[in-house]
Amino acid sequence: MKKIAVMTSGGDAPGMNAAIRAVVRTAIYNNVQVAGIRRGYQGMIEGDIFNMDTTSVSNIIQRGGTILKTARSKEFMTPEGRKKAFEQLKKHEVDGLVLIGGDGTFKGAHAFFGEHSLPAVGIPGTIDNDIAGTDYSLGFDTAVNTAVDAIDKIRDTAEAHDRMFIVEVMGRDAGYIALNSGIACGAEDILVPEKDTDFKSILKRISNDKRRKKLVNIIVVAEGDDFGGAEAVKAKILEHFPRIDVRATILGHIQRGGSPSYFDRVQASRMGYAAVNTLLKGTSQVMIGLENQQIICTPFENAIKEHAPLDMDMLEMAKILSS
Ligand code: F6P
């Protein structure tokens, strides 16, 4: 293999830069040239491809976002778009690919490699942590820490005013960020898409809390929850308790930015290193993952089959611990 191209695609995640750095430096160490593709599959279609060297990735391990930029490409969803992308890769003499992204990235990869033949390895990068075939996706640890920091601050003002807060966190249709930030902040309730919301029990808890004059509480809601997010939960609570002092806060894209945690930097380094070594050993069309702290490989088709399941025992535990 003479030239590997690396790209980031889908929502950015803290740790993507650390993974790019590891890919570039491992390839160069093995005397393989590296090209960067800007803006994911869209940049691939447009031939936005440039040569990288070890200095291209200096001073980026600690930076959020992605130096390669990212995009969600509609054109790549068509066979014509994918054909154009393949032609660009051939033109730039790319003979191996490292794709860093979430399930949309691997769905795209699966379609692409069903039509065109080129060795590729994926690295899971999404704050949602919902990809099957790995215990961990880059960015999740940093995003949860950001959410925890924000919710702790919200609790300060909630305490000061004796208020209830409904805090909405990201995760698309997965509840990992909600579950973990909710546990870490001692949230009184955690609403996730993986479980139907039992609103009756939330109302009962609020009644009990009012009776014992516990006025502050925090409900963490995943954006994909069946109830429709923080504002919908707030409206429903007000329907039953019109005089309650309640605010809704949507944390939003703050969760995607910021300097990656040590954990994300280390896992990104391991995964980037493993991705290049996997390609060089001749294994491809797999995603690098972590299982029990060890690096593993999962075929793209398995990584996109389903979402990683949420640990329902943890949700049960959270309920008991906050009672
Ligand atoms: O997949 C990462 C994520 O941040 C989700 O949690 C969220 O639903 C989505 O991306 C938001 O996407 P966009 O930045 O395109 O609005």
Q: Residues 88, 229: one domain? A: no
In a domain, 323, yes or no: no
The residues annotated as belonging to the active site are 128
In a domain, 314, yes or no: no
Q: Residues 244, 122: one domain? A: no
Q: Residues 117, 166: one domain? A: no
Q: Which domain holds residue 183?
A: 142-256
> Whose CA is closest to atom 10 on ligand 1?
11
Q: Crossing angle, helix 262-280 and helix 140-161, to 10 degrees?
A: 160
Characterize the bridge pairing of strands 189-191 and 217-222.
parallel
Q: Residues 54, 131: one domain? A: yes
Residue 31: what pLDDT? 98
> Whose CA is closest to atom 2 on ligand 1?
11
Instruction: Please state, in angstroms and as integers, the Cα–Cα distance from residue 76 to each residue in 8, 9, 111, 116, following that order.
Output: 14, 12, 9, 13
Structurally, how many domains does the chain consist of?
Answer: 2
Query: Which parts of the chain sit beneath pLDDT 50?
Result: none
Give the distance (Å) from ligand 1 centre to CA of residue 221.
15
- Can you give the CATH number for the domain in which 72 is found? 3.40.50.450
Angle (CA) 217 315 255, round 5°: 70
Give the distance (Å) from ligand 1 centre to CA of residue 172.
6
> 214-238: per-residue pLDDT in tens?
777 999 999 999 989 999 999 999 9
In a domain, 49, yes or no: yes
Q: Residues 106, 185: one domain? A: no
Instruction: Please state, in angstroms and as integers, the Cα–Cα distance from residue 85 to each residue in 75, 93, 115, 306, following that order.
Output: 10, 12, 12, 27
Residue 26: what pLDDT? 98
Q: Residues 17, 131: one domain? A: yes
Residue 221: what pLDDT? 98
Q: With contact defined as beta carbons under 8 Å apart, do 82 and 42 qualify?
A: no
Residue 63: what pLDDT? 98
317 is in an annotated binding site: no
Q: Residues 149, 65: one domain? A: no
In a domain, 218, yes or no: yes
In a domain, 224, yes or no: yes
